[in-house]
């Protein structure tokens, strides 16, 4: 079993421009989806994943979306083994097949991906016309920083998951270098909006709850550099939490309902008081995802269910 190597991490330390469609109303639109990774046995997909893909395809055509942010756990339960793994076709290409979704997919790794070969997922980006692996990218309107939270905090194997908090990163040296790089990306950000994404939550009320490593180290940076929002998956629900620190406001969105949906509030007492603004989850539901619409005056985040119904919406203003 090959895990994410330092060499593979180094490949992510590059800056790319996002090609974004600006619509007639002045908005750039893109989808956010997490924990969408199908099944390791036939049919290699779930009803929720199929329903979410159909909704994204329909809305993507209507709204002229530009790209997707994929927040990890791309292939349940043990990632992929090589760049030719058939799961790329069965769980990704053949499911998210709508013409409107043949736009870039900016992908990060989740804990289930780390059980397999994350380097193979990165290499797949070289042969796919839409699947791109990178940690940082920018437009004039939005700066994006996408993180591998397993490298930063640990949690890449089953024994790690059994510890709360996580035991720590596999390599302290690599993690520390990564933290320094993360802060440098935040420091360089001058766009009106800064979106930071990772697989593990900073805050969540559900099964896994807050990630202490991220609460302790990432949260202060998000406030210091006035990030607009942190997007994550890991818990299989849709959540919006918000919190203030040192006079700055921060939004946290859990978007982990692409493949499995659960109703779990085990960690409701472990998040700041009154921070939970919205929660959606339940075993009989068929999945949901996020939609972000951004222009020069505001950024709107919407949770969408498989029926294309808007469940919840909130508006964020430019950082400065």
CATH for 228: 3.60.21.10
End-to-end Cα, the chain, rounded Å = 46
Q: What is the dihedral of CA 217, 235, 144, 156, to 10 degrees?
A: 60
Q: Which residue has the higher pLDDT, 57 or 168?
A: 57
Binding-site positions for Fe cation: 35, 73, 76, 111, 199, 234, 236
pLDDT confidence of residue 2 = 27
Query: Residue 6: which pLDDT band, with cuts at 50, 70 and 90?
Result: very low
% of the chain beyond a pLDDT of 70: 89
Provide the domain count of the chain. 1
pLDDT confidence of residue 22 = 65
Q: Does the pLDDT at position 40 exceed 90?
A: yes
Distance CA 295, CA 136 (A): 20
Residues 194-252 pLDDT 10s: 999 999 999 999 999 999 999 999 999 999 999 999 999 999 999 999 999 989 999 99
Query: Which domain covers residue 149, as residue numbers?
Result: 6-316
Q: Does the pLDDT at position 10 exceed 70?
A: no
Query: Residue 127: which pLDDT band, with cuts at 50, 70 and 90?
Result: confident
Distance CA 234, CA 141 (A): 28
**Mean pLDDT of all residues in the chain?**
90
Instruction: Check: CB of residue 256 under 8 Å from CB of residue 233.
Output: yes
Instruction: Check: CB of residue 167 under 8 Å from CB of residue 215.
Output: no
Beta bridge partners of 17: 138
Beta bridge partners of 313: 302
Q: 248-255 and 229-232 as β-strands: parallel, antiparallel, unpaired? A: parallel
Is position 36 within any domain? yes
Query: Residue 139: which pLDDT band, with cuts at 50, 70 and 90?
Result: low
Is position 1 within any domain? no
Is position 197 within any domain? yes
Is position 153 within any domain? yes
Is position 290 within any domain? yes
Binding-site positions: 35, 73, 76, 111, 199, 234, 236
Is position 154 within any domain? yes
Mean pLDDT value of segment 127-137: 71
% of the chain beyond a pLDDT of 90: 80
Is position 293 within any domain? yes
What is the arrangement of strands in the sheet containing 193-197, beginning at the earlier edge strand? 15-17, 136-138, 142-146, 193-197, 229-232, 248-255, 238-245, 276-280
Over 176-229, what HEC string results?
A: HHHHHHHHHHHHHCCCCEEEEECCCCCCCCCCCCCCHHHHHHHHHHHHHCCCCE
Is position 150 within any domain? yes
Q: Does the pLDDT at position 12 exceed 90?
A: no
SS3 47: helix
Instruction: Check: CB of residue 291 under 8 Å from CB of residue 304.
Output: yes
Residues 250-300 pLDDT 10s: 999 999 999 999 999 999 999 999 999 999 998 788 999 999 999 999 999
């Amino acid at each position: 079993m090959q895990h994410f190597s330092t060499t593979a991490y180094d490949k992510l330390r590059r800056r790319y421009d996002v090609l974004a469609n600006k619509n007639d109303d002045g908005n750039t639109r893109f989808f956010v989806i997490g924990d969408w990774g199908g099944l390791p046995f036939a049919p290699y997909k779930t009803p929720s994943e199929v329903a979410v893909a159909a909704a994204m395809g329909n809305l993507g055509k209507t709204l002229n979306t530009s790209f997707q942010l994929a927040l990890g756990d791309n292939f349940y339960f043990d990632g992929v083994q090589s760049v030719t793994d058939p799961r790329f076709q069965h769980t990704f290409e053949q499911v998210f097949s709508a013409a409107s979704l043949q736009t870039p997919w900016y992908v990060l790794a989740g804990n289930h991906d780390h059980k397999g070969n994350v380097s193979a997922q990165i290499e797949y980006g070289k042969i796919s016309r839409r699947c791109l692996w990178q940690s940082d990218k920018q437009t004039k309107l939005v700066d994006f920083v996408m993180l591998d939270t397993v490298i930063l905090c640990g949690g890449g194997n089953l024994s790690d998951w059994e510890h709360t908090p996580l035991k720590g990163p596999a390599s302290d040296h690599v993690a520390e270098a990564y933290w320094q790089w993360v802060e440098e990306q935040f420091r360089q950000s001058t766009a009106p909006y800064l979106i930071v994404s990772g697989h593990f939550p900073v805050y969540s009320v559900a099964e896994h709850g807050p990630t202490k490593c991220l609460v302790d180290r990432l949260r202060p940076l998000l406030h210091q550099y006035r990030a607009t929002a942190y997007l994550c998956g890991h818990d299989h629900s849709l959540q919006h939490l918000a919190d203030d620190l040192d006079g700055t406001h921060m939004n946290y969105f859990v978007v982990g309902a692409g493949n499995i949906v659960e109703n779990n509030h085990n960690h409701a007492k472990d998040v700041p008081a009154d921070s939970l603004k919205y929660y959606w989850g339940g075993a009989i539901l068929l999945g949901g995802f996020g939609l972000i619409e951004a222009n020069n005056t505001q950024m709107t985040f919407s949770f969408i269910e498989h029926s294309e119904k808007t469940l919840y919406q909130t508006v964020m203003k430019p950082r400065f």
